[in-house]
Amino acid sequence: MEDVEKSLNFIEHIIEDDLKNGYSNDELRFRFPPEPNGYLHIGHASSICLNFGLGLRYGAPVNLRFDDTNPAKEEKEYVDAIKRDVDWLGYNWKSERYASDYFQQLYDWAEELIVKGKAYVDSQTSEEIAEQKGTPTEPGTESPYRHRSVEENLTLFRGMKNGDFKEGEHVLRAKIDMESSNMLMRDPVMYRILHKPHHRTNTDWCIYPMYDWTHGESDYIEQVSHSLCTLEFLPHRELYNWFLDQLVSEDKLRPKQREFARRNLSHTVVSKRKLLRLVEENVVTGWDDPRMPTISGMRRKGYTPESIRNFAETIGIAKRENVVDVSLLDFHVRDHLNKIAPRVMAVLNPLKVVITNYPEDGEEWLDAENNPEDQSSGFRKVPFSRELYIEQEDFREQANRKFFRLKLGGEVRLKNGYIIKAESCTKDEDGNVIEVQCSYDTKSKSGSGTEESLRKVKGTLHWVSIKHAIQAEVRLYDRLFVDATPDAHKDQDFMEFVNPDSLEKVTGFMEPSLKDAKIGDRFQFQRLGYFNVDLDSKPEALVFNRTVTLRDTWAKLEQSC
């Protein structure tokens, strides 16, 4: 009765089948295996939610494993950033692992393969090896070193390990099938010489295992039951299984690799190379710029972990090409923020309003509801006085009846305050309205219970008392790209689609309750959107980011007005 039977995705179907056919629930184990060579982005978030979500669903442990087999690209800084991001998303890993933990075991197994005649040292250049690899339509040819003796292979491999050779002099290759229709089975490289210090093993090793020789074996060591990766690894599965065949013992669980389609977000690029260009060419301010699709960027922008998890859950997982519309992410961000974000009033594009029949030095503190979605959030006080700011867009000298805002001779309610009527306005020499003179209905105060206070007027505006307002920098973000698939155009560089107006900085005027806002605090600026306090913010100089606008039916309607 409680929850409607949720339909399973294809990965869950596989697991359910395995459970029916002999796997026990406590054999289930997953892992999230990033290479620590960059920052995590929304695509990784989807994979994190898949693996950790499965862990939660089946009560199974999930390891965080760093695939750190290439010291040329990897750094501790990224390890730390990745841990912080996964943690922020709200997931707990059972155990923190590193492929580098397994270097010795991997090496020992490699010697075993040599002894069994399943691996050999090749002494050709990488160009020669590539040449012999053939093409997808033509078979490869065998290396002249393919039939070295076990003794010679062992001697050479140990020499490689001991640092007797320069980079590129030798590699260790698996001896499989140079004519396989799967290029990866044509004697793949297992080890290469790299005289580079590793962020964890330092100079202990100068040979490093390749991905294919490392990943499945690491899964095996950790007894991962289902090793999930993206579709481009599908051809690797045959090799994954071949390596496992060489060393799996009967009494241990044999990991399975299964592949799913990576999620693509519209109006976004995620490749490290492209994000780096955005950073280097100063299109954004850094990897955590709120416009970046990195987890750190989304965190800074004010997205909540819950909204990202809900998003990942909603889009699901499958095997076909996809481009998820970014509006779905926006929906989940709004959906969660609507429930948790306190409402406040802030004016970003001020127009002065003078209440001519309000006392010159008058001031009163009105009750304002913090969140109509959350009764427990209570009320706060908001100051009212004779001179206020409203948004410029909220006043027109004249307008048709679809304009539910302030116009000359018309009435409108000030949120939490009084009903006012626009009597006149003054303009500068260019004809721009710079001030509106209004009268207020003295008995119409919100919540006072008077007949006047219950009057219905079409339109409620947010506002702020000028003399009480605090000023703050507000950063208004828009999509970084104007095209849905910026990097899918053959003849155009993705940089051509950068939105020139993705950031606008304004000075906002806010109700004084915001004075003590702390970095990361989230608010709804009523009628405008959700905002949070940026990292750059200081107590005396607050900085807000617009996380996402409110849904705006009026903006669409406006053209027709």
Residue with tokens 């972990």, as numbered in its chain: 305
Q: 116 CB contacts (<8 Å, ≥6 apart)?
A: 246
Stretch in the footprint of RNA (CB under 7 A) among 219-227, 294-302, 326-334, 508-516: 326-334
DSSP state of 167: T
Q: How far is the CB of 69 from RNA (least distance, A)?
A: 4
The Cα 178–Cα 329 span in angstroms is: 46
Stretch in the footprint of RNA (CB under 7 A) among 149-157, 247-255, 398-406, 493-501: 398-406
Please, which of residues 51-110 interact with RNA by CB under 7 A? 67, 69-70, 72-73
Catalytic residue among 83, 118, 146, 262: 262
Q: 558 CB contacts (<8 Å, ≥6 apart)?
A: none
Please, which of residues 243-262 interact with RNA by CB under 7 A? 261
Beta-carbon count within 10 A of 20 CB: 8
Nearer to RNA, 289 or 479 (CB): 479
Q: Sort strands 470-477 and 503-510 into parallel, antiparallel or unpaired.
A: antiparallel
Please, which of residues 524-543 interact with RNA by CB under 7 A? 524, 526-527
Catalytic residue among 35, 238, 313, 364: 35
The Cα 410–Cα 426 span in angstroms is: 16
Stretch in the footprint of RNA (CB under 7 A) among 2-10, 85-93, 156-164, 196-204: 2-10
Q: Is 544 exposed, middle or buried (0-12, 13-18, 19+ CB in 10 A)?
A: buried
CA angle (449 as vertex; 443, 455 as ends), nearest 5: 65
Please, which of residues 261-320 interact with RNA by CB under 7 A? 261, 314-320
Stretch in the footprint of RNA (CB under 7 A) among 184-192, 295-303, 350-358, 427-435: 184-192
The Cα 286–Cα 276 span in angstroms is: 9
Nearer to RNA, 16 or 26 (CB): 16
Beta-carbon count within 10 A of 341 CB: 25
Nearer to RNA, 1 or 4 (CB): 4
From residue 33, alpha-carbon distances to 93, 303, 340, 418 in Å are 11, 24, 33, 58
| Single residue of 105, 155, 182, 439 touching RNA by CB under 7 A | 182
* Tokens standing for residue 396: 């027109």
Site string for RNA, 438-457 (x = CB under 7 A): ------xxxx-----x--x-
Q: How far is the CB of 415 from RNA (least distance, A)?
A: 5
Q: Does 193 bind RNA (CB under 7 A)?
A: yes
Please, which of residues 345-374 interact with RNA by CB under 7 A? 371-373
Q: How far is the CB of 194 from RNA (least distance, A)?
A: 7
Residue with tokens 């008077």, as numbered in its chain: 450
Catalytic residue among 158, 166, 272, 443: 272
Q: 234 CB contacts (<8 Å, ≥6 apart)?
A: 259
Please, which of residues 107-126 interact with RNA by CB under 7 A? 124-126
Q: How far is the CB of 402 from RNA (least distance, A)?
A: 5
| Single residue of 56, 183, 276, 434 touching RNA by CB under 7 A | 183
Question: Residue count at the site for RNA (CB under 7 A)?
Answer: 91
Please, which of residues 215-244 interact with RNA by CB under 7 A? 215, 231-236
Helix or strand run (H / E) with residue 404: none
Please, which of residues 140-159 interact with RNA by CB under 7 A? none
| Single residue of 301, 343, 475, 479 touching RNA by CB under 7 A | 343
Q: How far is the CB of 52 from RNA (least distance, A)?
A: 18
Q: Residue ranges of the alpha helices (H) in 33-187? A: 42-58, 76-88, 103-115, 126-132, 150-162
3-state DSSP assignment of residue 306: helix
Stretch in the footprint of RNA (CB under 7 A) among 113-121, 145-153, 355-363, 551-559: 551-559
Q: How far is the CB of 540 from RNA (least distance, A)?
A: 28
| Single residue of 95, 203, 322, 426 touching RNA by CB under 7 A | 322
Is residue 35 flagged as an active site residue?
A: yes
The Cα 384–Cα 363 span in angstroms is: 6
From residue 441, alpha-carbon distances to 35, 413, 444 in Å are 65, 10, 5
DSSP state of 49: H
Nearer to RNA, 66 or 93 (CB): 66
Catalytic residues: 35, 262, 272
